[in-house]
Amino acid sequence: MEAPKKVTITLDGRTIEATEGLTVIQVADQVGIPIPRYCYHPGLSIVGNCRICLVKVEKIPRLVPACATPVQDGMVVYTNTDDVVEARRSVLEFLLLNHPVDCPVCDRSGECYLQDYYMQFGLYRKRRFAPRLHKAKAKPIGPYVILDQERCILCTRCIRVCEEVAKKPQLGLFQRGNRTVLDVFPGQSLDHDYSGCTVDVCPVGALLDRDFRFKARVWFLKRTRSVCPGCSTGCNIYIDWNEDKPYLAQGQRVFRLKPRYNPDVNRYWMCDYGRYGYKFIDQDRIPRPYRQTDGQRQPIEWSEALERIRAHVETTLREVGPSGIAVLLSPHLSTEELYLGWKLFAEALGVRDIHYEMPTRNPKADDFLIRAEKFPNAAGARLLGIGSDGSARAILENAAQGRYRLLWLVGQNPVRCYGAELFQAVVRQTPWVVLQTVNWTESTSLAHWILPAAPFAEKEGTFVNAQYRIQRFWPAVRPYREARPDWVIFQDVARALGLTGWNYTRAEDIFYEMTRRFPVFQGLDYATIGDRGVVLQVERAGVLVNAGT
State the pLDDT at residue 549.
32
Class of domain 103-209: alpha beta
Is it the case that residue 428 has pLDDT exceeding 80?
A: yes
Q: Is 481 exposed, middle or buried (0-12, 13-18, 19+ CB in 10 A)?
A: exposed
CB 68, CB 50: distance < 8 Å: no
Is it the case that residue 41 has pLDDT exceeding 60?
A: yes
State the pLDDT at residue 388.
63
- For the chain, the domains span 6-95, 103-209, 290-535
pLDDT-derived band of residue 2, with 50, 70 and 90 as boundaries? confident
* Residue whose C-alpha is closest to residue 271's, from 373, 367, 197: 197
pTM over 0.75: yes
CA distance 194 to 205: 18
Domain 6-95, what fold?
Ubiquitin-like (UB roll) (3.10.20)
State the pLDDT at residue 546.
41
Task: Calculate mean pLDDT across residues 305-322.
Answer: 98
CA distance 453 to 460: 13
Q: What is the pLDDT of residues 505-548, one digit of tens each?
A: 999 999 999 999 999 999 999 999 999 999 999 863 334 444 33
State the pLDDT at residue 390.
64
* Residue whose C-alpha is closest to residue 495's, from 325, 294, 363, 340: 340
C-alpha distances in Å from residue 48, one per residue of 45, 89, 121, 155: 10, 17, 19, 9
C-alpha distances in Å from residue 500, one per residue of 50, 188, 354, 495, 513: 65, 62, 22, 7, 15
pLDDT-derived band of residue 360, with 50, 70 and 90 as boundaries? low
Q: How much of the chain, in percent, has pLDDT values that exceed 90?
A: 88
CB 351, CB 433: distance < 8 Å: no
CB 268, CB 200: distance < 8 Å: yes
Q: What is the pLDDT of residues 396-420, one digit of tens each?
A: 999 999 999 999 999 989 999 899 9
- Using alpha carbons only, what angle is made at residue 469 by residues 467 and 470, rounded to the nearest 5 degrees? 145
State the pLDDT at residue 545.
42
CB 434, CB 409: distance < 8 Å: yes
- Span 290-535: which CATH code? 3.40.50.740
CA distance 48 to 155: 9
pLDDT-derived band of residue 295, with 50, 70 and 90 as boundaries? confident
210: left (phi over 0), alpha (psi -120 to 50) or beta: alpha
State the pLDDT at residue 544.
41
Q: What is the pLDDT of residues 55-89, one digit of tens each?
A: 999 999 999 999 999 999 999 999 999 999 999 99
Tell which wins on pLDDT, 226 or 357.
226
Average pLDDT of the chain is: 94
Q: What is the pLDDT of residues 227-256, one digit of tens each?
A: 999 999 999 999 999 999 888 888 899 999
State the pLDDT at residue 450.
98
CA distance 292 to 309: 14
* Residue whose C-alpha is closest to residue 288's, from 297, 279, 300: 300
Is it the case that residue 490 has pLDDT exceeding 90?
A: yes
Q: What is the pLDDT of residues 187-196, one digit of tens each?
A: 999 999 999 9
Residues in the chain: 549
